[in-house]
Every structure is written in C-alpha cells, then in structure tokens.
Structure 1
C-alpha cells in the first residue's frame, strides 16, 4: 500500500523539471495525479504515459495558471473527473530574470499572475473541496532570501506566494488542512546557465546542485500524514544555500 493510496493530487507545471519529479513521486506513492501543462503537450503526455505504464493513474489537463478563471477550472475539472481533491501543489512557474529598468508592465503582470494570482485562486477553489487534513504545497525559491541581482519582479512574485502560504495556513488550520511552501535552491533541471550553475555549486556547503528528485522527496513528506504538525512554513530545500 502506498502512503497516498486513494488520494488525488494536482501538480501544476508538471511536464518537466521539478514539477515532473513531484508528480512522478506522488504517483509512485499511490496518488491519482493530474499532470498540468500550459504549452508542452507532448512532454506532459509522456509523463502521463510513464505513470500509466507503471500501473498508476494519471490525467492530463491544459491551462494558463496565470489566469484566475483557468486556475479555478483546473480544480473543478479535477473534482469532476475524480470526485475529490486531496493535494494541490502549485509548482507552475518561470524563472525570468530582468533588471529593474528593463522590466515592462507586461513582464510584471505575467510574473505576478503566474506566481501569485493563479496559485492564490487555485488555493481558494481547492479549499472549497479539500477534505479535513488536505494538503497544499507552494513551490517558491531560495532567491527570496538570496536576492539575486536583476530579478526583483520575479523574486517579489515568489515572495508574495510565501506570504500567502502563511496567511492561508492560518485560515485553513481549523480544518486540519496544512499549507506549506518549499523553497528550492539552485536545481539542475537541464536549463541552468553557467552563471547560476556556479552559484549553486559554490553557494551550498554540499558543493553540488540540487536535483528535481531532492525537491520531490521534500514535497512527498509535506503531503504525507507524517507532516500533519507542519503548516505555514517555508522549507528551504537547497542543500544549505540558505541557512
């Protein structure tokens, strides 16, 4: 019996990278999983196929998670498909560093939409259907503590998500629903520039980059029964890059 047998989990942005590792891990633990993508249909389909080949249950959904109506739809269609929702992982995101002077209003709105507005309304919709002891996990970034140069709008949008985590955790606590954030450090998802690779290698006392599976393991713990006494926390999962 898997630790998540009978549970239904949504992982947004799960066609690749950290999101893919998370959805594969939750499926391995027995959850029926919703694999979400915005544009990478083929990659997302391959994730679903891999889960099904291992005997798991996976369903594919497309949505623009920067839009509140689309974020709500992901929740409602999942419940329509499976009849329930137990776990929401807000992972969809885009690392888009840009200097303060170069950032346009469109850049700003896109980042706030994807990292703050969309997750906020996904959580609001999910909270209507989550059972007692449901789980919400938000994926943020160690950069909110490290303050990378030239990424103020990106980091501000992720910092907002960390603050939402605390406030929403307080409101949902009477129902036993936990809300936590996981803050990865420099993680090797296959798209790192050499600059950030070097920051990761030299910034962590482990002297290695994080792997998507490292983050997935932390999320798997937070959605388990063993993490019932953790809520409103931002867990630094960066090999000590933030202490």
Structure 2
C-alpha cells in the first residue's frame, strides 16, 4: 500500500541485517516510502541483497558506502540521494561510533573519533537536509536523531560516547525551533539497550533482569517509533527526546 510513495527517507547506519538502521529501512519501506541508506564496511554484497529486499516492497531503494568521519560526508550523501531519488523529506541519523574508554583510557583520539561521527556528521546532515528541504517544493519534513539515554543516567566506561551522544539532545531541541517555520519537525529517540549487532550473551544476561517486560529491546521496537515520528500523525511533535525503552531500570 504505497500511500507515501512521494516520500523519500534517508537513513544512516544500515550495514548489517540485524542493525537498527536496517529495521528502520524495512519499516519505512513497508509504508511505501522510498529508501536511501548509508552503510560502512558491510559484508560482501550485503547491501545489494538488502536493496533488492527493499525494492520487493514496491519502493525505490538506493545506497551509498561512506565513512561518516569525512568532513564532506554530509554534502556527498545529500547530493547522492538527490541525484538518485530526489529531495528527501525524512532524515534518520542512526549511525554511531562507540568504543569503551573510562577515565584511564580516554584520550584525544578517542574523543575525536566519537565527535566526528556522533556529533559532526549528525549535525551537518541535519542542516544540509534543512537547506535542501527549504529549496524544495515539499510540505513537511522530519528529522529524527538517535540518543542512548544519556539524559537519564550515567554510562560508566563510555565517557566519549555518552558525551557526544548527549550533545545530540541539546542540538535537537535548539534546531527544532529554527526549523519549525519551514515545516520540519526535529526529534530524538532513545531506544534503550537494543539487541542488535553489539550485544553478546554476557551482555544480554546482565541486562535482561533490568527489563520489567521480560525481554530486551529489539530493532523492530525502534523502527516502530521512527515510523510514527516520520508520519503525518506526528506533525505536532517537535523538539522532543522520546524514551522508548520498555521501562528499562537504570540502577
């Protein structure tokens, strides 16, 4: 049912079948939205297989392999999606960089590696998307950024990740005010710990008791709230950080 076939969504960070970005692509494609995704270091030909899967939903799908740490990545991405599909009306900044650190290990390179992906690429994609949107004939735009609950509690051993992802919340709130007159909503989603590519059995066993619903979050849970925020039904929601983490207990 392609009732949204004139919409184009740009999603970053879909590089594996179990990624949150991949689940988001599938969910939006099921709504009849054309998909453009970025990936990095995917398995051989994975992106081609995934593109075909999405196209079988009767939507267009294109992709770009790109290192988001490059300073011109945002411009290259928006130029490519516009050339291949047209002007996007939905941007989902899902890609992130994360390594363990803590106060003993933290150094300048660790901070810089997190900053260029989690902050700089996200922020520049947002503003480049808005500049392009303003020149287009589109009526409504959606920017959805991803956080990880940094506003709700500490993340020990992940200082660089927590600091750079936490900045996304502040940026989201401020940008939403600037872009509201253009008809673009800007929100962020905290999905809580999600069982995607980074979880091991040890991590799952330690996290499961903290989920009162009896299971760990799945990529599909994230995709559902992204679908809502990208829809016309969410037109009156902007400048918000939505915590959708199944009652996760932070203690």
* TM above 0.5: yes
Alignment partners' CA distance in 2, 1:98 and 1:193: 18
Q: 1:65-144 maps to which residues of 2 (within 5 A)? A: 65-130=68-133, 131-144=138-151
3-state SS of paired residue (1:129): helix
Q: Deviations over 1:193-230 (max 9, x none)?
A: 34532443122221210010000000000000000011
Alignment partners' CA distance in 2, 1:121 and 1:198: 37
Matched, 1:30 2:32: yes
Asked whether the 8 Å contact 1:15–1:47 carries over to 2, the reply is no
**For the aligned residues, what is the CA RMSD?**
1.7
Asked whether the 8 Å contact 1:35–1:61 carries over to 2, the reply is yes
Partner of 1:40: 42
Structure 2 residues without counterparts, runs of 5 or longer: none
Asked whether the 8 Å contact 2:149–2:243 carries over to 1, the reply is yes
Please, what TM-score do these two structures have when normalized by structure 2? Answer: 0.91
Asked whether the 8 Å contact 1:140–1:161 carries over to 2, the reply is yes
Structure 1 residues without counterparts, runs of 5 or longer: none
Alpha-carbon distance, 1:143 to partner: 4.4
Change (3 A) 1:182 1:3: farther
Q: How many residues in Structure 1 have an aligned counterpart in Structure 2? A: 243
Matched, 1:13 2:13: yes
Alpha-carbon distance, 1:4 to partner: 2.5
Asked whether the 8 Å contact 2:13–2:39 carries over to 1, the reply is yes
**Please, which of 167, 176, 186 is the counterpart of residue 169 of structure 1?**
176
Alignment partners' CA distance in 2, 1:174 and 1:143: 29
Partner of 1:183: 190
Alpha-carbon distance, 1:84 to partner: 1.4
Alpha-carbon distance, 1:67 to partner: 2.7
Partner of 1:61: 64
Q: 1:193-204 maps to which residues of 2 (within 5 A)? A: 193-204=200-211
Change (3 A) 1:190 1:56: same
Runs of 4+ deviating beyond 4 Å = none
Alignment partners' CA distance in 1, 2:216 and 2:84: 38
Alignment partners' CA distance in 1, 2:151 and 2:49: 32
3-state SS of paired residue (1:56): coil
Alpha-carbon distance, 1:242 to partner: 6.2
Alignment partners' CA distance in 2, 1:216 and 1:92: 14
Please, what TM-score do these two structures have when normalized by structure 1? Answer: 0.93
